[in-house]
Amino acid sequence: MTDVLDELQWRGLIAQHTDIDALRAALADGPVTYYCGFDPTAASLHHGHLVQLLLLRHLQNAGHRPIALVGGATGMIGDPRMSGERVLNDASTVAEWTERLRGQVSGFLSFEGDNAAQVVNNLDWTGPLTAIEFLRDVGKYFRLSSMLAKDTVARRLESAEGISYTEFSYQILQGMDFLELYRRHGVTLQTGGNDQWGNLVAGLDLIHKVEGTSVHVLTTPLITKADGTKFGKSEGGAVWLAPDMMSPYAFFQFWLNTADDDVVRFLKIFTFRSREEIEALEAEVAERPFARVAQRTLAEDVTTLVHGADATTRVTAASAAVFGKGELADLDADTLRDATAELPRAAGDLGEEIVDLLVRTGLEAGRGAARRTIGSGGVSINGTKLDDPDRTLATEDLLAGGVTVLRKGKKNMAIVEVAGA
């Protein structure tokens, strides 16, 4: 067993904890069985869950046994939010999302060896409970004074909307999960985001009251940018881990655009790079920030972690090709579409003059200007420079998905889409 707490502290992955010395001793004596819960309140996990998944993996790499809980029961309710009451999803939707999340979390953990991971669903023990059993066997151990003092609950009570009994009861359900996993699997450590502190402690208190045993809680900090603003919004919304909700290309670009002030800290949090490697990348940021070596390393590592090495190869090839450093013809239709999603586009037809397509896509103001730009060598089609102002769009100009990339100068690009191609 390694002293993994020092590593987690260095990476910035520890916010709050119960008795740290007792936890350190337990980890040293290990292996410790620990868990983190993921509620299916959406069809995918996002960057915030990624922090928890990496924490689970760090602990597993140190020899401890992870359990990932997917909340088929708690997902029916949803953790109280500061912003107001959640919309309750129907049972079939929650069941579908539960299976999606089960598949996602499974990709981050090892299911082999003495400390093989497990994935569980809290609906297995919550579903069979009657309301009377729940109130008598679990609810009686919770005190309203403690429940009302929880930060999110207190703030919601002060709001105009208030909080429903449904969401107010969420902390009891999560506390029961910790107790149930302690009994079933010997779980003695629960991890989660720092906003979950109150719910995590509820489980710790419940185990102490019911079993007379001390267990442990550890939270990760809310990840923010260097300027103090919230981290994790892309132009399209949340940074989802599912490729059908955020393409691997867009995911890669999100990490690639990390600011210099943030990139070293994010390398510590979101990758498994060693201290020596990260220190070398920190020197690159200081000495050659324009090269963006650290950002590219971050983007490649996180994309590989979430989407796999093949996806990273495709998106890096697409990024290079779009910026004139690779072959556009080598890209598949999906990757090419994702890589050019932000470019202006227009419909075109085979046999149509390129000068008309330059005007229609907005790269030129008129035919005369378009002909002059082509004549001066300022236009390329799929990376090949044009020299004939009378050139028309041909079948061999079509890339995967029936599109053609026009470029004016070095930076101005547009897409021509040929229907039915």
Domain 233-339 has CATH 1.10.240.10: yes
**Is the Cβ–Cβ distance between 74 and 174 less than 8 Å?**
yes
**Residue-level pLDDT at 393:** 95
Q: Is 313 exposed, middle or buried (0-12, 13-18, 19+ CB in 10 A)?
A: middle
Whole-structure pTM value: 0.88
**Residue-level pLDDT at 411:** 83
**Three-state DSSP state, 143:** coil
Q: Whose structure tokens read 């053609």?
A: 404
**Cα dihedral value 210, 211, 212, 213, nearest 10:** -130
Q: What is the mean pLDDT of each run of 10 residues along the chain (421 residues)?
A: 85 95 92 97 94 97 97 92 85 96 96 96 96 95 91 88 91 96 98 93 96 97 86 74 94 95 97 97 96 97 97 91 84 89 91 95 94 94 92 94 92 90 64
**Residue-level pLDDT at 421:** 64
118-121 vs 65-70, strand pairing mode: parallel
Distance, in Å, from the CA atom of 99 to the CA atom of 78, rounded to the nearest integer, reads: 17
Distance, in Å, from the CA atom of 253 to the CA atom of 154, rounded to the nearest integer, reads: 39
Residues 13-52 as b or e (16 or more Cβ within 10 Å = b): bbeebbeeeebbebbeebbbbbbbbbbbbbebbbbbbbbb
Distance, in Å, from the CA atom of 209 to the CA atom of 204, rounded to the nearest integer, reads: 9
**Residue-level pLDDT at 235:** 60
**Residue-level pLDDT at 382:** 93
Domain 345-418 has CATH 3.10.290.10: yes
Q: Which two tokens stand for residue 308?
A: 């796999």
3-state SS of 5-52? HHHHHHCCCCCCECCHHHHHHHHHHCCCEEEEEECCCCCCCEHHHHHH
**Residue-level pLDDT at 1:** 42
Total residue length of the chain: 421
The dotted CATH code for 4-220 is 3.40.50.620
Sheet containing strand 187-193, strands side by side: 118-121, 65-70, 33-38, 187-193, 216-220
**Residue-level pLDDT at 80:** 85
**Residue-level pLDDT at 294:** 98
Q: Is 133 exposed, middle or buried (0-12, 13-18, 19+ CB in 10 A)?
A: exposed
Distance, in Å, from the CA atom of 324 to the CA atom of 347, rounded to the nearest integer, reads: 23
Angle in degrees, CA 382, 385, 386, rounded to 5: 105
Asked, colleague to colleague, whether 4-220 and 345-418 share their fold, the answer is no
The β-bridge partners of 69 are: 37, 120
The DSSP secondary-structure symbol of 190 reads E
**Residue-level pLDDT at 234:** 60
Residue spans per domain, the chain? 4-220, 233-339, 345-418
Q: Whose structure tokens read 């390398």?
A: 267
